[in-house]
Amino acid sequence: MKSVVGFPRIGPQRELKNYVEGYLEGKVKKEELEKAARDLRKYHWLLQKEYGIDLIPSNDFSFYDHFLDHAVMLGAVPAAYRILEDEIDCYLALAKGYQRDGIDLKALPMKKWFFTNYHYLVPTLTADTEFKLSSDKPFTEFKEAWHEGIKTKPVLLGALTFLKLARKTGVDIYNKHFWEKMLEVYIEILCHFNTAGADFVQIDEPVLVMDLEERDRRFLKEFYGALLKNKGKTRVILQTYFGDIRDVYQEIVSLDFDALGLDLVDGKLNLELISQYGFPEDKLLLAGIVNGRNVFRNNYQTSIDILQKLAHYVDKGRIVLSTSCSLLLVPYSLKYENELDEKVVPYLAFAEEKLQELSEIEEIFLSGDFSKHSFYLKNAELWNLVATDQSGEKEKEEENEYIRVPAWEERIKVQKEALQLPFLPTTTIGSFPQTPDVRAMRGRFKRGEVTKEEYESFIKAKIERVIKFQEEIGLDVLVHGEYERNDMVEFFGENLEGFVITKNGWVQSYGTRCVKPPIIFYDIKRKKKLTVDYIKYAQSLTSKPVKGILTGPVTILNWSFVREDMPPDRVAMQLAQVIKEEVLDLEKEGIKIIQIDEAALLEKLPLRKSEHKTYFDWAIKAFKAVCAGVKPQTQIHTHMCYSNFDDYLDEIARMDVDVITFEAAKSDFTLLDGIRESSLQAEVGPGIFDVHSPRIVPVEEMEKLITRMLEKIEKDRLWINPDCGLKTRKEEEVFPTLKNMVVAAREIRKKF
């Protein structure tokens, strides 16, 4: 048997993006949106059926985010949003906010989904949360598929994952009084599926791969002990992913689940757990061997090895082949890639190709002598060809070989002297709104409809306009606006050697926003300057300093797909080398401030604390390798967002940057206390407005914020800036806010 944990849902050509955004803009009717969603689901189910998948997921579809779907289904959303009676409107208000007709509802905050570039919406659980079955989405989808002749496996988010990842105010999630009602909802859902005739239901509990405590184990026993008494004929799969379940293996196998889904790609230790503690004879084992979060072909030899080891403990008949996690994290299909390097194509597998891999591996596994099977032989030949020889290439450098001299205290003096900025200097994070004309022009350039010269002069005109705007409103440190970049990582991938760029390899990052991660396939080299020309041009237009903006090595690595046989620390050092070359070129051209974005520094921080040190050691070493050798008077900034870096300030201090700007607008300033208490010396720019909200922020609001910040941070250490880049916003939203931001800073300066 073969199972898929979840399938992408944005549409093979990002159809859902256009429908949802169109609906929000009033250009698409509700019926059209619903039909588009039904068509996509049908397409996904039929495709999986075509490849012989036995356990095809449903309820893995979402208009915006599956975590929000779950919160809505449990009734765990604030009552204020119910003012919007229509189900979809209420849902989208939670996702995007709603400001119309005197109603002002804020969007829920977003957070990273484990170590991926997917972001989920975070509901808040309070003492007022009343759990109640409030949506029939999972049942509707099940019926819809049944209508197509497919009996799906409905997917539900697990209780512990939901409780642990939600925000809590004033509630103890482990208190039975709090979760009892939620248990009743889960029971109701299971009963529904039992009546509807579902053979399987999948409950996702990815938090089980994290460090767990005794109370988590107790919760699992109590909650699932009670739930599983109500499963009737429906068989319940407990699905885990993103690691191994070392802290709960024995508890989980002793519960009455009918099947256990284990990740054997990111959770290598799962195999050991099975060999050590055995596997119960009454359960199916869903063996996650096809990597759901990378785009490379499976190595069949590796997978067969794992399966054969498993077969010592579990009869072959009870082993179900599966993806390691949901395929949400990979693009749809290679069939849209007609311009890819032919040498590389055979090494890639997107979601659709992974379905085929499951079939092929099953066939090999069940055949008598697998080593003669044609699928096996073909795959072995492929991987033999690229087996890399890494002997002699070991990096010996230690982090402390990349020390910037002189030390921060000395450098910052030299820089203040050189830059002559007022105190509370104002700046932005780099990108300005990527207006539709910019996107459209790049589209035309890529399709060969306009020449390189036309494209470049278009970008230059944009730069000229944005420099003028920044001068007019009186910002102190200007930027060129990043108009030439489709994305802060893909752009670097396109312009460096060693990357492969897809045409349609879109992956959902949040809601309707997608990224097209570049693929690292060869050694990385820089054959030409990446950013120097436009930044130099911008600097030529003004006497104010223009900040050069680059993406750092760890972020490029973490937002790319990287070959599994390439050690990440080695790739990070190669990236550091090329970014360093760019930094030195910018410096040579007279750029005085260079920002090296590390928005994703913490993204792939291992889920288990015991593995953090190794990660930080190589990640920070790579970052420092970029900066060592830069002149003392060149000011190095970095920018971070989207992670809770509160907990890692001492590690971030080791990056030894001169200035750090970061997202803080939402976090109640606890971060500022943390900064004061940490070993971080750098000047800081805690974002003073949230770029994800379309609101125009008034001067007084920002003045108040700066005043409060000054209670925590000395006046000569504080920068004034937004909390992230402005690329996703509209000019009419951010231009007035930036203007207000500068006024606010000036008003505060007057008070000193």
Ligand X SMILES: Nc1nc2c(c(=O)[nH]1)N[C@@H](CNc1ccc(C(=O)N[C@@H](CCC(=O)N[C@@H](CCC(=O)N[C@@H](CCC(=O)O)C(=O)O)C(=O)O)C(=O)O)cc1)CN2
**Known binding positions for L-homocysteine:** 429-431, 597
The correct pick among 83, 103, 440, 461 for binding ligand X (CB under 6 A) is: 440
Chain residues that interact with ligand MET, rule: CB under 6 A: 429-431, 482, 488, 549, 597, 599, 639, 641, 724-725, 727
Between 512 and 551, how does the x/- string for binding to ligand X read (CB under 6 A)?
Answer: -xxxx-----------------------------------
Instruction: Tell me the three state secondary structure of residue 685.
Output: strand
Considering beta carbons, is residue 502 or 555 the nearer one to Zn ion? 555
Smallest separation (angstroms) from Zn ion to the CB of 430: 8
What are the C-alpha distances in Å from 280 to residues 203, 270, 394?
A: 19, 14, 43
| Per-position b or e across 442-479, b if 16+ CB within 10 A of its CB | beebeeeeeeeeebeebbbebbeebbebbeebebbbbb
Helices 699-710 and 731-750, packing angle to 10 deg: 50
- List the single partner that 439 binds among ligand X, Zn ion, ligand MET, none, CB under 5 to 8 Å by kind: ligand X
From 66, 70, 637, 692, the catalytic residue: 692
Output the residue with the shortest Cβ distance to ligand X.
Answer: 443
Indicate whether 449 belongs to the interface with ligand X (CB under 6 A): no
Smallest separation (angstroms) from ligand X to the CB of 446: 6
Smallest separation (angstroms) from ligand X to the CB of 733: 15
What is the rounded distance in angstroms from the CA atom of residue 180 to the CA atom of residue 172?
A: 12
Considering beta carbons, is residue 678 or 728 the nearer one to ligand X? 728
Annotated binding site for L-methionine: 429-431, 482, 597
Annotated binding site for Zn(2+): 639, 641, 663, 724
Indicate whether 356 belongs to the interface with ligand X (CB under 6 A): no
**Amino acid, single-letter form, for residue 660:** I
Considering beta carbons, is residue 724 or 743 the nearer one to ligand MET? 724
Smallest separation (angstroms) from ligand MET to the CB of 733: 15
Smallest separation (angstroms) from ligand X to the CB of 591: 22
Helices 452-473 and 532-540, packing angle to 10 deg: 40
In three-state form (DSSP H/G/I as H, E/B as E, the rest C), the secondary structure along 259-292 is EEEEECCCCCHHHHHHHHHCCCCCCEEEEEEECC
- List the single partner that 470 binds among ligand MET, ligand X, Zn ion, none, CB under 5 to 8 Å by kind: none
- List the single partner that 442 binds among ligand MET, Zn ion, ligand X, none, CB under 5 to 8 Å by kind: ligand X
**Amino acid, single-letter form, for residue 495:** N
Indicate whether 733 belongs to the interface with ligand X (CB under 6 A): no
What is the rounded distance in angstroms from the CA atom of residue 168 to the CA atom of residue 22?
A: 34
Structure tokens that stand for 648 in this block: 């890692």
Smallest separation (angstroms) from Zn ion to the CB of 641: 3
- List the single partner that 486 binds among Zn ion, ligand MET, ligand X, none, CB under 5 to 8 Å by kind: ligand X
Residues 690, 741 contacting (CB under 8 angstroms): no
Burial of 169 (0-12, 13-18, 19+ CB in 10 A): exposed
Structure tokens that stand for 497 in this block: 């050697």
Burial of 606 (0-12, 13-18, 19+ CB in 10 A): middle
Considering beta carbons, is residue 57 or 498 the nearer one to ligand X? 498
Smallest separation (angstroms) from ligand MET to the CB of 409: 27
Of 18, 64, 61, 57, the residue nearest 38 (C-alpha): 61
- List the single partner that 745 binds among Zn ion, ligand X, ligand MET, none, CB under 5 to 8 Å by kind: none
Helices 30-50 and 15-24, packing angle to 10 deg: 170
Residues 459, 534 contacting (CB under 8 angstroms): yes
User: Which residues, 6+ apart, have CB-to-CB distance to 19 below 8 Å?
Assistant: 28, 32, 33, 36, 37
Structure tokens that stand for 26 in this block: 């009033």
Number of residues located near ligand X, criterion CB under 6 A: 20
What is the rounded distance in angstroms from the CA atom of residue 123 to the CA atom of residue 413?
A: 45
Residues 265, 291 contacting (CB under 8 angstroms): yes
Indicate whether 597 belongs to the interface with ligand X (CB under 6 A): no
Considering beta carbons, is residue 501 or 665 the nearer one to Zn ion? 665
Annotated binding site: 17, 117, 429-431, 482, 513-514, 559, 597, 639, 641, 663, 724
The correct pick among 35, 167, 316, 439 for binding ligand X (CB under 6 A) is: 439
Chain residues that interact with Zn ion, rule: CB under 5 A: 599, 641, 724
Considering beta carbons, is residue 161 or 486 the nearer one to ligand MET? 486
- List the single partner that 440 binds among ligand MET, Zn ion, ligand X, none, CB under 5 to 8 Å by kind: ligand X
Considering beta carbons, is residue 240 or 431 the nearer one to ligand MET? 431
Instruction: Tell me the three state secondary structure of residue 415.
Output: helix
Indicate whether 392 belongs to the interface with ligand X (CB under 6 A): no
Considering beta carbons, is residue 274 or 599 the nearer one to Zn ion? 599
CB atoms within 10 A of CB 339: 9
Residues 480, 466 contacting (CB under 8 angstroms): yes
Smallest separation (angstroms) from ligand X to the CB of 506: 8
Is 612 noted as a catalytic residue in this protein? Answer: no
- List the single partner that 430 binds among ligand X, Zn ion, ligand MET, none, CB under 5 to 8 Å by kind: ligand MET
Smallest separation (angstroms) from ligand X to the CB of 117: 5
Burial of 572 (0-12, 13-18, 19+ CB in 10 A): buried
Between 102 and 131, how does the x/- string for binding to ligand X read (CB under 6 A)?
Answer: ---------------x--------------
Considering beta carbons, is residue 600 or 745 the nearer one to ligand MET? 600
**Residues assigned a catalytic role:** 692
Residues lying near ligand X in the complex (CB under 6 A)? 117, 434, 436, 439-440, 442-443, 486-489, 509-510, 513-516, 559, 642, 728
